[in-house]
Amino acid sequence: MKTPVKKTFNSLKNDIWICLKLTIIFGVVFTIINQAFTLKEAGLVFLFSGMYSFVLGLGNGIINGYLSKKWDWVLQTNQRVWAGIIATISYTTVAVLLIHYVQYFVIFNNNIDNFFNGRFLWMHLFAIILSLAIAVFFHAKDFMVNWKASVKQETTQHEIVAKTETAKFETLKNQIDPHFLFNSLNVLTSLISENPKQAEKFTTKLSKVYRYVLEQRNKELVPIQEELQFAKTYMELLQMRFEEAIQFNIPEEVSNSDLKIVPLSLQLLLENAVKHNVVSSNKPLEINIFEEEGFLKIQNNVNPKEAIGKSTKVGLRNIADRYGLITDRNIQIINNNKIFTVCLPLLINIKDSIMDTKSLENSNYVKAVEKVEKLKEFYQNLVSYCIVIPFLIFINLKTYSKFQWFWFPMIGWGIGLIFHYLEVNNYNLFLGKNWEERKIKELMNDDKKL
């Protein structure tokens, strides 16, 4: 896990790299525009480009990062906004005046008495306003990123809670099945008159089953040993009801006492096996539970009931949803029409049971929604560019055509549009398309090899 210092260093290194690329891009562009083809002239153009990129760009970036750490955009919006306004205006004004002093009065030897007079005053004001506009854009972008992250986190948490509650409801609806309860009471009624001692055992096991259901229903994970013991009690209860028509094999011990499982998942699978298959002495239902390759496997022979119809798989979806809320390991279902097998992932560390929000975010639907939002932002950006830039060109040529300052916003904003388009399409100029996904898969494969 990266430490805060390392994260800050990596962020700073990334900002420096971006400023260096901007210096090169603007240097090349204005070298061509100004026809500065001698070594001295080209050197000056790149020097000025670097001054603007690093002093204004990197400086404001560092300030922005510091303020965002000190005041949270979402929780401390007012403090963050006012701090950003004061710090950005103060720094940008001083930085622009310093750059212009070096550029026009140190290097080009203009009269220092004209620093705040005539065209220099207007150049200062234009550069300050343009720099502030760019800084405001990045502050707004930072706010939107943090706000969206907060909303997404809150939405994800609501989704997790909703799915958890739905899963719990479905669990209870399936576990405390009225039909199962009524059938159990009918069996108990017949046993009381035929075999009182067996009726007593039946009542004891029935109470254990429902007590376990009530105790474990709100837990995310339970030790596998407890769940297996519960499954054994539940199967013994079913065996009292169906006698020799049900046969089961449940392990007494587990390979690791730290192994955990989603509670009540076994009972739901066992109940489904009885519900969907013929249970008779001629065609007994055989159920085997065992550990294998990090999974707890529940197998039963397939002998489907004709009258029940096609399975809706509600119970299996219930278990899959509950696992999906706490881990990225999926359940596996294997059916060859002779043996039906469900493989439940066995979890050990607490890290395995942390709600995996990325598994929710990486669904195809959410990916599509996010891409549509990014495309919408890009088109809005493009439309704004097509409207504002021609207006700036008209203002520039109409008022002061000797200094064509419209190149600055046109090229700067245009480069931003290009990077925005590449971001929407997940393309990196140096690493290619979908490089993040390819790198993630590569790292995941490397982890599996370890």
pLDDT at 343: 92
Could you report the per-residue pLDDT of 16-61, keeping only the tens digit for each? 888 888 888 888 888 888 777 788 888 888 888 888 888 888 888 8
Q: With respect to residue 164, please indicate whether it lies within any of the assigned structural domains.
A: no
pLDDT at 288: 93
Could you report the per-residue pLDDT of 75-108, keeping only the tens digit for each? 787 888 888 889 888 998 999 899 989 888 888 8
Q: Is there a single domain that holds both residue 51 and residue 141?
A: yes
Q: With respect to residue 158, please indicate whether it lies within any of the assigned structural domains.
A: no
Spatial contact of 285 and 302, defined as CB atoms under 8 Å apart: no
Could you report the per-residue pLDDT of 269-308, keeping only the tens digit for each? 888 888 888 888 888 999 999 998 889 999 999 888 876 5
Q: Is there a single domain that holds both residue 351 and residue 371?
A: no
Q: With respect to residue 155, please indicate whether it lies within any of the assigned structural domains.
A: no
Q: Is there a single domain that holds both residue 206 and residue 248?
A: yes
Q: With respect to residue 320, please indicate whether it lies within any of the assigned structural domains.
A: yes
Could you report the per-residue pLDDT of 239-248, keeping only the tens digit for each? 887 888 889 8
Q: With respect to residue 209, please indicate whether it lies within any of the assigned structural domains.
A: yes
C-alpha span between 112 and 126 (Å, rounded): 19
Q: Is there a single domain that holds both residue 91 and residue 223?
A: no
Q: Which residue has the tokens 């220099």?
A: 120
Could you report the per-residue pLDDT of 298-335, keeping only the tens digit for each? 999 988 887 655 555 666 777 887 787 777 788 888 88
Q: With respect to residue 442, please indicate whether it lies within any of the assigned structural domains.
A: yes
Lowest mean pLDDT among 127-136, 174-183, 333-342: 174-183
CATH number at residue 294: 3.30.565.10
- Say whether pLDDT at 402 is over 80: no
Q: Is there a single domain that holds both residue 130 and residue 64?
A: yes
Rounded mean pLDDT, 6-23: 74
324: β partners:
none
Could you report the per-residue pLDDT of 421-436, keeping only the tens digit for each? 787 777 665 555 665 5
pLDDT band of 341, cuts 50, 70, 90: very high
**Model pTM score:** 0.42
Q: Is there a single domain that holds both residue 347 and residue 205?
A: yes
pLDDT at 300: 93
The CA-based dihedral angle spanning residues 34, 38, 41, 45, taken in that order and rounded to the nearest 10 degrees: 60
pLDDT band of 198, cuts 50, 70, 90: confident
Residue where one domain finishes, among candidates 316, 331, 357: 357
For the chain, first and last CA: distance in Å? 17
Q: Is there a single domain that holds both residue 368 and residue 345?
A: no
222: β partners:
261
Rounded mean pLDDT, 249-275: 85
Domain that holds residue 282: 176-357
Q: Is there a single domain that holds both residue 217 and residue 329?
A: yes
Spatial contact of 329 and 352, defined as CB atoms under 8 Å apart: yes
pLDDT at 350: 43
Q: Is there a single domain that holds both residue 183 and residue 207?
A: yes
Q: Give the number of domains in the chain.
A: 3
Q: With respect to residue 166, please indicate whether it lies within any of the assigned structural domains.
A: no
